[in-house]
């Protein structure tokens, strides 16, 4: 090496790079002016020779060999011009290098920084709402070169490198630049589309971690993949501009696992889904994770990945766009309660607890299988807010369902005494998590005012669907898991045992209007060992009867409806009929938030195992009577009714149309003067075992009413026989 070049070299810092402990490689590598010359340094471990192909000021193309500064692969050259920016390296290996034998490579260290200081300030204050655009891996053109920009937050790392199949997973090659607040970035020129990569994080003590990109949209073979941002042409502008009507919200839960990444197959699967949703009459689809999550524990490690089955994110956009074209809303399930303990994921990301609490009493779930987010750390809030808004902005979601909310609300969720730390007031509320939920709901409404945010919540925490202005949390809806627990505990017992459990069927109605509830008949809540039918006792016929009864009872019960695919496969026809009935009857669809819309007729008949109740609006002609027989025998149930008039059966779960035995009430019922359930009039309804009947009130016409009055007068008023009539009788 010539003496002039040797004197310009910073040998202490060069050693730091060679030992891969450098977090400021741009200070040495790349071009640096020295008077009228430019010093260019490069590090290619294992390279035999390196030349630099550059363009001189006169426009001529030059190829200049670089000198070996260190046999490990450190090269340098002093070019006779002060502005050298347009160049590539020609790197030669002898079959043992990390690249091809001869590779033409761009220089990551000749490029200026990309991340703005203002974005880092927002990130560290919890206000960066598009962190996925700042961090992660993004294909772009920067300063005349096409490549990929990588950025990650790892404040306690000694050094961070991008490793992947493009550099033989060698952490010495692409050491990243440290910016403010522990943010690292590097722009790597070249064709990196669909390349696998990770971040290699070096800690003090020479410990090495390999971590996936927290913002990666694709994970393959357990590692992140550079995903090119191919544009998608949406066709749902008209649908997106509509104000969504929530009163007729009928949600169909669909797993990502029903879809594939093959475009041809995906189009067929979308068509099948549209047919199923439209034919059954649902208004919304809830997209839920499948293989991406552990269904029971709801564990996620990759928050920006759609699903490995679907492939590129445009495939998911295709699904949403098709549903919107069919006037079907789309809700995504999202789980910001915690993350899986995957060594390549968020836990101990830079050797310290970045995303989770350090103290396991705060940072781990009760069973130790999940890490819990540190909601008091602003950078974590930026990550979570950005992730939740990502589904609304990027995928045109009409709503978000936040799962496992109870685990977020309570510091002691599932934990024993001593296994958790109280808040500053000495109680078990997770104040930081509640503040985050409120902030997310506000941010979502700011992005899309008519988006719905619902809570999959098993807790009894008050004010969940109360507005934030009234000191509530501000969810639009909350899942009524209390109804699911009480009802299915009741109906899972043999009918002869249900008399002693009658309160479980009736008592939960006390709080059915305490929040804006959704009734979730979902596999996740109901399927334990085997299928849903296995929850019901008795013969196969009895189990199917119980299935039809349960679905119908949930539709008659106050609350919006959610049915998962597969759950209703044995009852498609009755689900379609119930959806139609729900939409056509204001007493069902328009009154789910009005406690005056429900009234018990009979809820005390423990021995008979039946109930009857009214669903109504302010208009008497909207009134429905529901009679549900939970006994294992057919019954003729006498039910009081609010009004004189006629009652026509409009749905019966035992109809042959739904696979029943055909015990129905074909004739219209007229209320008679027979007291029952504290009412002056009543009707008698024949109900098959484990069946439900819905009857609609029909007021008398004036002619019918006059006839009823006349009959009542004649029946209740004695008429004295005349003397002429008596004498004729004697003769």
Instruction: Evaluate whether 23 touches 156 at the Cβ level (below 8 Å).
Output: no
* pTM, full prediction: 0.92
Give pLDDT, residue 530: 55
Beta bridge partners of 373: 356
Q: For residue range 263-310, what is the model confidence (pLDDT) as tens digits?
A: 999 999 999 999 999 999 999 999 988 543 444 444 567 899 877 778
- pLDDT less than 70: residues of the chain: 95-101, 243-246, 290-300, 523-531, 568-569, 721-731
Give pLDDT, residue 728: 53
**Distance of CA 44 to CAs 171, 189, 290, Å?**
11, 15, 43
Domains of the chain from N-terminus onward? 3-110 (2.60.40.10), 117-225 (2.60.40.10), 237-479 (3.20.20.80), 482-698 (2.60.40.1180)
**Distance of CA 196 to CAs 137, 175, 228, 312, 326, Å?**
11, 17, 12, 14, 37
CA pseudo-torsion sign 191, 171, 17, 5: negative
Instruction: Evaluate whether 91 touches 47 at the Cβ level (below 8 Å).
Output: yes
- CA dist 182 and 161 (Å) reads 14
Instruction: Evaluate whether 60 touches 67 at the Cβ level (below 8 Å).
Output: no
- CA dist 726 and 433 (Å) reads 90
- CA dist 716 and 548 (Å) reads 44
E runs forming strands in 101-195: 102-105, 136-142, 145-153, 159-164, 177-178, 183-189
Give pLDDT, residue 108: 97
CA pseudo-torsion sign 541, 544, 550, 551: negative
Give pLDDT, residue 727: 53
**Distance of CA 680 to CAs 639, 641, 674, Å?**
11, 8, 6
Give pLDDT, residue 300: 63
Q: How far is CA 365 from the centre of its chain?
A: 20
The three state secondary structure string of 328-351 is: CEEEEEECCCEEECCCCCCCCCCC
Q: What angle do CA 39, 42, 44 make, to 5 degrees?
A: 165
Give pLDDT, residue 724: 58
Give pLDDT, residue 292: 39
- By the 10 Å C-beta count (0-12 exposed, 13-18 middle, 19+ buried), 380 is classed as buried
- By the 10 Å C-beta count (0-12 exposed, 13-18 middle, 19+ buried), 289 is classed as buried
Q: Which of 408, 399, 394, 459 is nearest to 253 (CA)?
A: 399
Beta-carbon contacts of residue 562 (< 8 Å; ≥ 6 apart)? 251, 252, 253, 286, 479, 518, 519, 520, 521, 522
Q: How many C-beta neighbours within 10 Å does residue 646 have?
A: 18
């Amino acid at each position: 090496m010539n003496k002039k070049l040797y004197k310009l070299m910073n040998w202490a810092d060069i050693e730091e790079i060679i030992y891969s402990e450098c977090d400021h490689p741009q200070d040495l590598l790349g071009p640096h002016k020295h008077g009228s010359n430019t010093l260019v340094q490069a590090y290619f471990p294992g390279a035999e020779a390196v030349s630099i192909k550059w363009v001189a000021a006169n426009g001529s193309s030059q190829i200049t060999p670089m000198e070996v500064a260190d046999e490990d692969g450190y090269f340098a050259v002093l070019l006779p011009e002060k502005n050298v920016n347009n160049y590539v390296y020609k790197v030669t290996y002898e079959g043992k290098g990390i690249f091809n034998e001869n590779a033409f490579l761009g220089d990551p260290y000749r490029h200026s920084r990309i991340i703005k200081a203002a974005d880092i300030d927002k990130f560290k204050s919890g206000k960066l709402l598009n962190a996925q655009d700042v961090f992660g891996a993004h294909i772009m053109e920067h300063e005349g070169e096409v490549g990929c920009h990588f950025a990650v937050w790892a404040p306690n790392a000694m050094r961070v490198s991008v490793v992947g199949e493009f550099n033989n997973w060698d952490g010495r090659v692409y050491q990243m630049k440290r910016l403010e607040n522990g943010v690292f970035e590097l722009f790597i020129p070249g064709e990196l589309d669909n390349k696998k990569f990770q971040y290699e994080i070096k800690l003090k003590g020479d410990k090495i971690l390999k971590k996936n990109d927290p913002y990666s949209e694709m994970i393959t073979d357990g590692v992140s993949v550079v995903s090119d941002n191919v544009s998608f042409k949406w066709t749902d502008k008209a649908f997106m501009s509509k104000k969504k009507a929530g009163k007729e919200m009928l949600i169909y839960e669909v797993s990502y696992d029903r879809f594939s990444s093959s475009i041809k197959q995906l189009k067929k699967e979308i068509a099948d889904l549209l047919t199923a949703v439209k034919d059954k009459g649902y208004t919304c689809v809830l997209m839920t994770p499948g293989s991406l999550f552990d269904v029971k524990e709801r564990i996620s490690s990759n928050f920006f990945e759609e699903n490995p089955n679907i492939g590129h994110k445009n495939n998911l956009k295709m699904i949403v766009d098709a549903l919107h074209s069919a006037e079907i809303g789309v809700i995504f399930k999202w789980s910001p309660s915690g993350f899986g303990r995957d060594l390549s994921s968020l836990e101990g990301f830079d050797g310290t607890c970045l995303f989770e609490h350090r103290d396991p009493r705060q940072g781990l779930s009760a069973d130790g299988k999940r890490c819990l987010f540190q909601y008091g750390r602003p950078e974590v809030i930026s990550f979570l807010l950005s992730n939740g808004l990502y589904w609304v902005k990027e995928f045109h979601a009409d709503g978000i369902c936040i799962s496992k909310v109870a685990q977020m609300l309570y510091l002691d969720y599932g934990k024993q005494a001593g296994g958790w730390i109280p808040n500053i007031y000495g109680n078990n509320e997770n104040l930081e998590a509640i503040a985050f939920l409120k902030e997310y709901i506000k941010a979502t409404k700011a992005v899309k005012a008519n988006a719905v945010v619902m809570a999959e919540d098993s807790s009894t925490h008050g004010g969940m669907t109360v507005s934030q202005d009234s000191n509530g949390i501000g969810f639009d809806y909350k899942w009524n898991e209390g109804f699911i627990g009480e009802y299915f505990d009741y109906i899972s017992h043999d009918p002869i045992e249900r008399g002693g459990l009658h309160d479980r069927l009736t008592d939960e109605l006390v709080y059915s209007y305490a929040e804006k509830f959704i009734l979730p008949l979902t596999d996740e809540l109901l399927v334990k060992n085997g299928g849903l039918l296995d929850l019901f006792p008795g013969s196969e016929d009895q189990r199917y009867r119980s299935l039809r009864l349960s679905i119908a009872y949930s539709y008659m019960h106050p609350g919006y409806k959610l049915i998962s695919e597969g759950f209703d496969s044995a009852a498609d026809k009755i689900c379609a009929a119930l959806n139609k009935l729900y939409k056509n009857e204001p007493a069902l669809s328009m009154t789910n938030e009005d406690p005056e819309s429900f009234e018990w007729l009979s809820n005390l008949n423990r021995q008979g195992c039946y109930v009857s109740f009214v669903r109504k609006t302010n208009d008497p002609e909207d009134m429905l009577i529901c009679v549900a027989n939970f006994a294992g025998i057919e019954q003729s149930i006498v039910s009081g009714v609010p009004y004189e008039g006629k009652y026509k059966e409009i749905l019966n779960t035992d109809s042959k149309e739904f696979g029943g035995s055909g015990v129905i009430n074909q004739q219209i019922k007229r209320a008679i003067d027979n007291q029952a359930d504290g009412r002056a009039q009543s009707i008698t309804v024949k109900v098959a075992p484990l069946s439900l009947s819905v009857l609609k009130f029909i007021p008398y016409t004036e002619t019918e009413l006059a006839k009823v009055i006349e009959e009542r007068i004649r029946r209740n008023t004695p008429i004295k026989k005349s003397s002429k009539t008596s004498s004729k009788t004697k003769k």
